């Protein structure tokens, strides 16, 4: 790995360097992007404002992260040795049936055997594994460094202005800047505006408990998601005794949560019988990094654009969707993988920038879109007709503006500008989402309660189109990672799309396809993605 070039100072008290890529943020999205770009031989600087380990939420992972991304990164064995809680799937007290039911990864194609589990992780440990791995791969990682602003020339981002741990200013030039700095990103504003989802505009209050109950038998490590009148709870077993517990409620309650979080959490637990029972003999942790009740809000959104010349958005800086299916880390690491492939292809001159990053954006939006639709269906199948929380999340009652917001979230500005009548026909969208929720609810009813060990009836869930779409991208990542190369699943996702390069670190033009930019490249995801 070559040493970064040093340039002349650009202002009083500043120092300047030059890298191929500067990544802002050392979480899963940033460390994944940085590591995969460094693996292709490029010079990478990663700036993280905090000092690791540090607390973070988003502790329940999906198999594609563990058996796909982590294997690509070379930390699969380290993850196995870390002692994280194994997770077979999710257990849900959700829907019209009062009995809990399971969603087990083992019944998905390509997720059998060892690949049928994920982990519940303490993010302080998990994120540090990924960041330390980026260091080992040659990334110049600097902690306690704060991004201030991008450097630009015309419409192109050309570098970053930042301060180090001592407050000294720096300016670093780069061919590309990656913003993986999270939901509070300031840099992302330069790329475009953030569109929020009214359906999922909730607020979460969460904390940690010692001594809570566990689900029976082999499902003891599952995440438990429990719906109640005013929202839903997550219940994540991090160790044999430590549990992450969070209440997701309507955003209108944000002020109450902030004023007296302790009383609010006690009240929520009292109103959710299953969670009350599981915490009957538990005590809340009140010291150390897990010792406070925290509030998180406004966490379902997508930027209208995910990239601009010289800059890419990854992870929560780009998008986030409601956490009921544990999608946060998956979307962040998947976005990091896609971004790294586009960066490597553009840096090597294998593809022009428009085509390389057009593939990144369309694939990323497609993945976000299938999860969004799945969650619309998932919320819609919860039958609490007298609850304001659930009434507001019924697709059948959705306003036209809410359904059009889906198009904006998934497709960005291009989807709306494309003028596709099928996309903007709210009755068509309402019918589609209503059908998805009915199919999912019917499949859950046929699956049966978790106590029956689910058996082959779990296949009912994977027979629904909305679940199949969700699992497709994760299956492809796992298959390529486990087999070490291209698979029969490898095909363009779009009529004019690209495929993964043989080494998995870039994009390739499919045999027989044009090498230049397609005339359809600027068209919306809607013409090749999930909202057709």
Identify the residue with better confidence: 291 or 525: 291
What is the pLDDT confidence band of residue 229, given thresholds at 50, 70 and 90? very high
Model confidence at 395: pLDDT above 70 = yes
- Say how many residues make up the chain: 532
Beta pairing, strands 146-153 & 156-163: antiparallel
Q: What is the pLDDT of residue 323?
A: 86
Distances in Å between the Cα of 43 and the Cα atoms of 39, 142, 314 are 10, 14, 19
What is the pLDDT confidence band of residue 232, given thresholds at 50, 70 and 90? very high
User: What is the secondary structure of 333-398 as a DSSP string?
Assistant: HHHHHHHHHHHHHHHHTSS-HHHHHHHHHHHHHHHHHHHHHHHHHHHHT---TT-HHHHTT-GGG-
Q: Which two tokens stand for residue 133?
A: 């791995």
Model confidence at 107: pLDDT above 70 = no
Q: Is the dihedral of CA 403, 405, 407, 410 positive or negative?
A: negative
Which of 15-29, 110-124, 301-315, 410-424 bottoms out in mean pLDDT, i.e. has the lowest?
Answer: 410-424
Model confidence at 297: pLDDT above 90 = no
Q: What are phi and psi of 381, to 5 degrees?
A: -80, -5
Model confidence at 262: pLDDT above 90 = yes
Which of 37-41, 292-296, 488-492 bottoms out in mean pLDDT, i.e. has the lowest?
Answer: 488-492
Whether the CB-CB separation of 125 and 239 falls below 8 Å is answered with no
Q: What is the pLDDT of residue 5?
A: 40
Model confidence at 373: pLDDT above 60 = yes
User: What is the secondary structure of 10-78 as a DSSP string?
Assistant: -STT-EEEEEEEEEE--SHHHHHHHHHHHHTT--EEEEESS-SS---S--B--HIIIIIIHHHHT-HHH
Q: What is the pLDDT of residue 401?
A: 74
High-pLDDT (> 90) share of the chain, %: 61
185-220: pLDDT as tens digits: 999 988 989 988 888 889 999 999 999 999 998 899
Which of 13-22, 103-112, 231-240, 246-255 bottoms out in mean pLDDT, i.e. has the lowest?
Answer: 103-112
**How many CB atoms are closer than 10 A to CB 525?**
27
Model confidence at 250: pLDDT above 60 = yes
CA distance 418 to 527: 9
Q: What is the pLDDT of residue 531?
A: 23
Q: Is the dihedral of CA 514, 520, 523, 527 positive or negative?
A: negative
Q: What domains lie within the chain, and their CATH numbers?
A: 5-55+125-194+303-348 (3.50.50.60), 82-119+197-297 (3.30.9.100), 365-527 (no CATH)
44-78: pLDDT as tens digits: 999 999 999 999 999 999 999 999 999 999 999 99
Q: Which of 167, 174, 63 is nearest to 115 (CA)?
A: 63
Question: Mean pLDDT over all residues of the chain?
Answer: 86
Q: Which of 500, 180, 164 is nearest to 338 (CA)?
A: 500
High-pLDDT (> 70) share of the chain, %: 86
What is the pLDDT confidence band of residue 453, given thresholds at 50, 70 and 90? low
Strands in 301-303's sheet, in edge-to-edge order, are 194-196, 301-303, 319-320
Identify the residue with better confidence: 86 or 419: 86
Q: Provide Rg for the chain, Cα atoms.
A: 23
pTM score, whole prediction: 0.90
């Amino acid at each position: 790995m070559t040493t970064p070039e040093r340039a002349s100072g650009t202002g009083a008290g500043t120092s300047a360097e030059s890298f191929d890529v500067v990544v802002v943020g050392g979480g899963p999205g940033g460390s994944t992007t940085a590591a995969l770009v460094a693996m292709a031989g490029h010079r990478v600087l990663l700036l993280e404002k905090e000092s690791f380990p540090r607390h973070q939420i988003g502790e329940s992972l999906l198999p594609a992260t563990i058996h796909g991304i982590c294997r690509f990164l070379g930390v699969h064995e380290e993850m196995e040795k870390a002692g994280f809680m194994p997770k077979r799937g999710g257990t849900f007290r959700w829907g019209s049936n009062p009995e809990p039911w399971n969603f087990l990864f083992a019944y998905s194609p390509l997720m059998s055997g060892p690949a049928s589990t994920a982990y519940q992780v303490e993010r302080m440990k998990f994120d540090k594994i990924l960041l330390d791995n980026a260091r080992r791969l040659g990334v110049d990682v600097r902690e306690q460094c704060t991004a201030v602003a991008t450097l630009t020339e015309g419409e192109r981002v050309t570098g970053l202005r930042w301060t180090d741990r001592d407050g000294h200013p720096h300016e670093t030039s780069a061919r590309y800047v990656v913003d993986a700095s999270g939901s509070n990103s300031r840099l992302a504003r330069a790329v475009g505006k953030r569109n929020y989802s009214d359906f999922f505009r909730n607020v979460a209050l969460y904390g940690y408990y010692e001594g809570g109950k566990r689900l029976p038998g082999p499902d003891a490590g599952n995440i438990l998601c429990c719906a109640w009148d005013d929202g839903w709870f997550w219940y994540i077993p991090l160790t044999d005794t430590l549990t992450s517990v969070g209440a997701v409620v309507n955003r209108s309650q944000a002020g109450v949560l902030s004023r007296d979080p302790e009383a609010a959490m006690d009240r929520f637990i009292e109103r959710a019988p299953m969670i009350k029972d599981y915490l009957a003999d538990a005590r809340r942790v009140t010291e150390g990094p897990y010792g406070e009740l925290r509030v998180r809000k406004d966490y379902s959104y997508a930027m209208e654009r995910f990239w601009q010349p010289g800059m890419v958005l990854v992870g929560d800086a780009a998008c986030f969707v409601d956490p009921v299916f544990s999608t946060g880390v998956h979307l962040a690491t998947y976005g990091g993988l896609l971004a790294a492939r586009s960066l490597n292809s553009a840096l090597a001159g294998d593809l022009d920038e428009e085509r390389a990053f057009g593939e990144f954006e369309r694939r990323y939006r497609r993945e976000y879109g299938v999860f969004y639709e799945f969650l619309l269906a998932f919320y819609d199948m919860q039958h609490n007709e007298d609850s304001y929380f659930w009434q507001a999340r019924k697709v059948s009652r959705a306003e036209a503006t809410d359904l059009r917001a889906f198009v904006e979230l998934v497709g960005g500005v291009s989807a709306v500008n494309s003028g596709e009548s099928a996309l903007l026909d709210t009755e068509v969208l309402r019918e589609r989402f209503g059908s998805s929720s009915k199919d999912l609810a019917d499949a859950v009813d046929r699956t049966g309660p978790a106590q029956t060990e689910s058996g082959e009836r779990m296949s009912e869930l994977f027979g629904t189109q909305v679940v199949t779409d969700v699992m497709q991208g994760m299956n492809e990542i796992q298959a390529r990672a486990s087999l070490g190369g291209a698979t029969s699943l490898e095909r363009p996702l779009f009529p004019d799309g690209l495929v993964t390069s043989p080494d998995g670190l870039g994009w390739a033009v499919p045999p027989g396809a044009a090498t230049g930019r397609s005339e359809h490249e600027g068209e919306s995801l809607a013409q090749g993605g999930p909202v057709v």
